[in-house]
Amino acid sequence: MPHVLCLRAIHPDAIALMKAAPGVTVEVLDPVTPETLAARIPEADAVTVRLTRIDAPLIALARNLRIVARHGVGYDAVDVPALTARGIPLTITPEANAGSVAEHALMLMLACARRVTGYDQRLRDLGWGTVPDMPTVDLAGRTVLIVGFGRIGTRVAKLCSAFGMNISVVDPAVPYNTIKGLGYTPVEDLRAALATADVVTLHCPGAAENRGMVDAGFLGTMRKGAILINTARGTLVDEAALADALRSGQVSAAGLDVFTEEPMVASNPVLALPNAIITPHSAAGTAEGMRRMAMSCAESILARFAGTLDPHVVVNPEVLRRNA
């Protein structure tokens, strides 16, 4: 009888879907502590995971484990090689949260362009009207550089287009003519594009080669007074360098949903900066996005039990070939 262990609650529709499958039992573990996890994971055939670290010692305890379903797309906290060594697939929810994150990126762009948090606080202090030290701008007619043109980046491009922005795209994995055919400007020289962009928005993976890519040199090459948006991975940005750029005005504002260290720590230099608009890695956390991610997890788990798992949602698809 397959047993699913959910590490924290997921949407009730997804739990109901799994419980409706013949012979499947579902358990929600909350709170998740090292002790409760070690006690229950040996019984699990499948695990849904949101933030919990899934490391090699834990995987070794999971004697029955057949699938780990990540409630989201990032899997930095999961030991993929350890899963692969055991022949256990790791799935993600690639389409479920893309629209939610894209909307969040646009929200941060607008909030930065219109100095929403600054004017909100000023009005609460009974200050009225605009002031010279908090200038606002339109997005229409501005140039946005989209760094990474995958599931989220492509959606951000459509939203920016609706706002009348000029859209440049850089992604070495996407053919030049594909970007051009969609009506956007392909970029081959990143540094040159940074110098002309009013907004730079990051939508690339946190792979080793991308870590720290937004460093002092990157920020110094940006057009003075440009806006930086990051809803991708905190490890893409050198936060100390960004804080310096925000203080100097080289970057006029930054909208950040992700950080090098999460949850947020008091030592993060962007915390004290009024021109940084920050959210707690919540871009995907809309009601609709949470349901879609949970349903995607449930569907992957049931497909794994049925032997019909879609390889396109599997991080380590080689295990499917090996198991076959």
Contact between 299 and 81 under an 8 Å Cβ cutoff? The reply is no
Q: Is 3 a catalytic residue?
A: no
Token pair, residue 45, equals: 């055939």
- Give the Cα separation of 19 and 75 in Å (integer): 26
Look at the chain and count its residues: 324
Cα dihedral across residues 256, 262, 263, 267: positive or negative: negative
Burial class (CB in 10 A: 0-12, 13-18, 19+), 184: buried
Of 8, 151, 262, 291, the catalytic one is 262
Nearest to 278 by CA among 310, 239, 241: 239
Of 66, 104, 155, 281, the catalytic one is 281
Of 71, 155, 223, 233, the catalytic one is 233
- Give the Cα separation of 169 and 126 in Å (integer): 42
- Give the Cα separation of 219 and 207 in Å (integer): 20
Q: Is 211 a catalytic residue?
A: no
Buried b (16+ CB within 10 A) or exposed e, 210-230: beebbeeebbeebbeebbbbb
- Give the Cα separation of 298 and 47 in Å (integer): 10
Q: Is 288 a catalytic residue?
A: no
Catalytic residues: 233, 262, 281
